[in-house]
Structure 1
Amino acid sequence: MTLLSVEGLRTQFPTQRGVVEAVNDVDLTIESGEIVGLVGESGSGKTVFAESVVGIVEEPGEIVGGDVRLHGESLLDKFEAELREIRGGTISMVFQDPMNSLNPTLTVGEQIAEAVRLHQDVGESVRLPAEVKRKILGVAKNGEAWRRAIEMLEAVEIPEPESRAEDFPHEFSGGMRQRAMIAMALANNPSLLIADEPTTALDVTIQAQILDELRDLKDAFDASILIITHDLGVVAEVCDRVSVMYAGEIVERAPAAELFGNPRHPYTQGLIASTPRIDDPRDRLEPIGGTVPELVDIPYACHFAPRCPEARPECYEIHPEFRPVGRVLAPADGGSDRGRDSRPDHEAACLRRGPEEDRL
């Protein structure tokens, strides 16, 4: 069953130099119970896409086209009060920087408890700001919201959750702060968790622990997860399906195993070639030349063309549409190869890919 459906989403930022097309005609779906990865270099529009989904694009940015549907209902048609109920309730987001995302003046437990009070009927006031309540009333440690905070810290494997709930964010390590953010995001049993760079700035051991926990928590809380990252290792480790984003557009999408075993878009191939692998040691990595373009009035139809080793003049003039590019499926009866179709769930937007008769 489709949980989230994004169709033709366009998010723009007007500037003095022109319009920044941060998200340009993006389609993406997430099914119930799956983990989807959105991968690409910094500046590709991944975070703006996530902010567009949950309706927190900062001014002067705005969504100018497309639709975002959750359980079949358009989120773009809802009032801000309705979106506040959805954010933190049905959809939760873990942001890139947990230190700046957590309130330094409140204990970690109280911040999780406040999220519970905002979205669940636990008979505790949400009229006063949490900081005021802490200073005037103290923390209600016998309340249901506080008990839920303890449970969530335990769920994300924070040691001694009862005592650590009374600590402030600066008393947590980077990995523990990330776990606390995940605990807060899952406290209201959301249907969708969006994790934006969940392992950035963590050492590799803690990264592996966070990824293992995300996978376990998905099953424990029956949630779907969208992981946004530039780290292909993260995607390969936990994702069921992957979309590759470049300069505001999706350029390739496929099941994770298919994408890494058979990357087809030149950009995806470049990302994988520039990533170190333990099972394939090389003397030198092969970086992609150039940088992601500024997303202001890009003059060429294929945004990757100036960096692409296979680009032809037509690539600068014709906008590439998605084409099936996956491995050819073997016939069940072992018969002739003629007429076989490639995987319909592996597509790339490239004029140099797809059926031979359609390629440049």
Structure 2
Amino acid sequence: MSDAAPSAGAAGTTDRDGDAAGDAVGTAGDDTPLLGVENLQTQFPTDRGVVKAVDGVDLTIESGEIVGLVGESGSGKSVLAESVAGIVEEPGEIVGGDVRLHGDSLVDKTEAELERVRGGQISMVFQDPMNSLNPTLSVGEQIAETVRLHQDVGESVSLSAEMKRKIVGAAKNGEAWRRAIEMLEAVEIPEPESRATDYPHQFSGGMRQRAMIAMALSCEPDLLVADEPTTALDVTIQAQILEELTGLKEEFDTSILLITHDLAVVAETCDRVNVMYAGEIVERAETEELFSNPQHPYTQGLIASTPRIDVEDQDLTPIEGNVPDLIDVPFACHFAPRCPEAERECFEIDPEFRDVGEDGTDHEAACLRRGPEGDRL
């Protein structure tokens, strides 16, 4: 097995007898979301106290959706993604709430059971493909390995078989290798048969990210979690990657949780958006509604501080202050110290979600100064 960090398809394994893992999560009724995150709490104990990286998050993703998760660095976005995939690194742990895939809880599953879910039903693409791909294996072999682990292609995944492949190379007429070529072609890697034998250092940054996406989608997962997939890429390559993700969602019938700090990426790609701040979701709405009618002061601040190429001579207004230390945040509304509208009650009363949409629009914000007029501060 490769020495790469847990990545797209390589996050899971099968039993070493060579049988591909079967479905570990069933299919629920039509009214059950593909992914349901309920009051999720993920914490990290430290010498100074407990870091509440994810603090009571609710989030849903329906089949066929691209859902955005946006917020500043340090908001807890990546920890939420790791919690969904069940790969939170120690000493971190999920201490409350639930993560349900097709209505089936993942939180109480054993590591062996989770390994059958990861890769085959939930895959991840990380923001740094060079650190996620194994530098000692060809790109094609890494994708083929993922196929062997999660699909019944009749190719052994025993340690001895993997060591042999690492030394002499994979059989180029094998089903897993053919699947790897197909996936590289699907993500528009030129000359995929030739490039499959290349190593990660022979790929450009954009091609490495495409290879990661190919690996993640090689087993046609129900959910792809993409954590800052266009970070460090130039804008032209970013646009290509995002366009490909949208097309691949349709081709492979895969839902996507897209994590980013880039509002332009969200506006261009996502069906719905969740705005995260200091471990909490503070606003959620359909993408067009969120950008045309932002309600939470934090969301308004993010938009006001984002440059737009279609507006000349614009003044950008940065959000004052920094994301708070997530150890024992002393304020009921975590954004209150930075909020230009904050009143005394904002520091003392925990804000619950309120309907802030117009004409029945599904749009909620956790802010005491929003919602029905009679309920506002």
TM-score normalised by L of structure 1: 0.94
- Counting only pairs closer than 5 Å after superposition, residues 250-261 of structure 1 correspond to structure 2 as 250-261=281-292
Report the Cα distance in structure 2 between the residues aligned to 1:23 and 1:63, rounded to whole angstroms.
9
Aligned match for 1:83, one of 81, 96, 114: 114
Write out per-residue CA displacement over residues 259-278 of structure 1, whole angstroms, 9 at most, x where no aligned residue: 00000000000000000111
Report the Cα distance in structure 2 between the residues aligned to 1:133 and 1:54, rounded to whole angstroms.
30
Residue equivalent to 1:68:
99
Aligned match for 2:370, one of 330, 353, 357: 353
Report the Cα distance in structure 1 between the residues aligned to 2:201 and 2:162, rounded to whole angstroms.
16
Residue equivalent to 1:53:
84
Aligned match for 1:120, one of 151, 161, 164: 151
Aligned match for 1:267, one of 298, 304, 308: 298
Aligned match for 1:172, one of 176, 199, 203: 203
Q: Go from structure 1 to structure 2 and tell me whether the alpha carbon gap of 1:352 and 1:147 turns closer, same or farther (over 3 Å shift).
A: same
Quote how far apart the aligned CAs of 1:128 are.
1.7
Report the Cα distance in structure 2 between the residues aligned to 1:346 and 1:133, rounded to whole angstroms.
55
Residue equivalent to 2:320:
289
Quote how far apart the aligned CAs of 1:77 are.
2.3
Report the Cα distance in structure 1 between the residues aligned to 2:144 and 2:160, rounded to whole angstroms.
12
Report the Cα distance in structure 2 between the residues aligned to 1:245 and 1:90, rounded to whole angstroms.
25
Write out per-residue CA displacement over residues 191-242 of structure 1, whole angstroms, 9 at most, x where no aligned residue: 1000000110000000000010000000000110000000001100010000
Aligned match for 2:229, one of 198, 202, 224: 198
- Which of structure 1's runs of 4+ aligned residues deviate more than 3 A? 134-137
Residue 105 of structure 1 contacts residue 131 of structure 1 at CA under 8 Å; is this kept in 2? no
Q: Is 1:100 matched with 2:131?
A: yes
Report the Cα distance in structure 2 between the residues aligned to 1:181 and 1:136, rounded to whole angstroms.
23
Q: Go from structure 1 to structure 2 and tell me whether the alpha carbon gap of 1:131 and 1:100 turns closer, same or farther (over 3 Å shift).
A: farther
Secondary structure class of the residue paired with 2:44: strand
Secondary structure class of the residue paired with 1:57: coil
Task: Please report the RMSD computed on the Cα atoms of aligned residues, expressed in angstroms.
Answer: 1.1
Residue equivalent to 2:249:
218
Quote how far apart the aligned CAs of 1:131 are.
6.3
Write out per-residue CA displacement over residues 266-325 of structure 1, whole angstroms, 9 at most, x where no aligned residue: 000000000011122334311100111110000011000010000011110001000011
Aligned match for 1:312, one of 343, 356, 367: 343
Q: Which amino acid aligns with 1:346?
A: H
Quote how far apart the aligned CAs of 1:185 are.
0.2
Residue 103 of structure 1 contacts residue 169 of structure 1 at CA under 8 Å; is this kept in 2? yes
Quote how far apart the aligned CAs of 1:149 are.
0.2
TM-score normalised by L of structure 2: 0.90
Residue 41 of structure 2 contacts residue 97 of structure 2 at CA under 8 Å; is this kept in 1? yes
Report the Cα distance in structure 1 between the residues aligned to 2:169 and 2:316, rounded to whole angstroms.
55
Q: Which amino acid aligns with 1:351?
A: L
Quote how far apart the aligned CAs of 1:136 are.
3.2
Residue 39 of structure 2 contacts residue 55 of structure 2 at CA under 8 Å; is this kept in 1? yes
The answer to which of 160-169 and 118-127 deviates more is 118-127
Equivalent pairs, count? 346
Q: Which amino acid aligns with 1:54?
A: A
Secondary structure class of the residue paired with 2:219: coil
The answer to which of 154-163 and 75-84 deviates more is 75-84
Report the Cα distance in structure 2 between the residues aligned to 1:111 and 1:10, rounded to whole angstroms.
33
Report the Cα distance in structure 1 between the residues aligned to 2:148 and 2:374, rounded to whole angstroms.
59
- Counting only pairs closer than 5 Å after superposition, residues 317-332 of structure 1 correspond to structure 2 as 317-327=348-358, 329=359
Q: Which amino acid aligns with 2:186?
A: A
- Counting only pairs closer than 5 Å after superposition, residues 24-35 of structure 1 correspond to structure 2 as 24-35=55-66
Residue equivalent to 1:187:
218
Aligned match for 1:6, one of 37, 40, 45: 37
Secondary structure class of the residue paired with 1:145: helix
